[in-house]
Amino acid sequence: MTAVPFDTLRLTKALREKAHFTQEQAEGLTEALSESFEEHVATKRDISDMQSGLKQDIAELRSEVKQDIADLRSEVKQEIADLRSEVKQEIADLRSEVKQDIAELRSEVKQDIAELRSEVKQEMGDLRSDVKQEIADLRSGLKQEMGDLRSDVKQEITVLRQEVDRLDAKFAAKFNQLEAKFEPLELRLTVKLGTIVAAIVSVAILFIKFVHV
């Protein structure tokens, strides 16, 4: 470090005259201060050299930081590219797995549908057979009931016909009796009716003649 200009004689004189130091004290203190200034006080040149050094260090640091940033950017780009490639591969693998799972699921669903269709057909066949049997049983029962009903109706018709024949014979006998009773009355009514009609005709003829006169 460059020495700082320092007036030791002037300081020694000031210490003796103003601070009333002895010659030895003033010289000792002046010497100590001079050494201290030489060791610790920087000159303008020292500061300029330090500034130049700092600027150089800052420039080197800036260059290093730029290089580090460029290296980091390159590493990040590479890592991103690697990650993109890995993600694409994982997506491709996942797509392949999903397609495989979908194919297996489709196959399982088709098999389940085929089994269900077979079961439904079997159940429908059994149901059709049961329904046919029930219809046959019902038809047989109805035929039997209709046969019994027909037999009962024929029996009732026979009884009714016999009753009608009996009533018809009874009515014929009664009618014959009434006819025998009303024959004289009918003759008398016929004679009276003829007389009445002749009278009415006579009156009508007289009325017509009267109207024309």
Q: Which residue has the higher pLDDT, 175 or 177?
A: 177
The pLDDT > 90 percentage for the chain reads: 2
**Average pLDDT, stretch 184-195?**
69
pLDDT of residue 2: 47
pLDDT of residue 66: 87
**Average pLDDT, stretch 152-158?**
77
pLDDT at 155 over 70: yes
Q: Which residue has the higher pLDDT, 65 or 169?
A: 65
Cα separations in angstroms, 3 against 28, 50, 148 = 19, 16, 151
Q: Which residues contact 34 (CB under 8 A, 6 or more apart)?
A: 6, 8
pLDDT at 173 over 50: yes
What's the pTM? 0.34
pLDDT band at 20 (very low <50, low <70, confident <90, very high): confident
Distance CA 183, CA 172 (A): 16
**Average pLDDT, stretch 21-47?**
75
pLDDT of residue 14: 86
Q: At what angle do helices 8-17 and 23-40 cross, to 10 degrees?
A: 140
pLDDT of residue 125: 84
Q: pLDDT by residue (tens digit) across 90-141?
A: 888 888 888 888 888 888 888 888 888 888 788 888 888 887 888 888 888 7
**Average pLDDT, stretch 138-163?**
78
pLDDT of residue 78: 92
**Average pLDDT, stretch 84-95?**
88
pLDDT of residue 175: 59
Among 6-15, 17-26, 106-115, which stretch is predicted with the lowest mean pLDDT? 6-15
**Average pLDDT, stretch 23-33?**
86
Q: Which residue has the higher pLDDT, 39 or 98?
A: 98
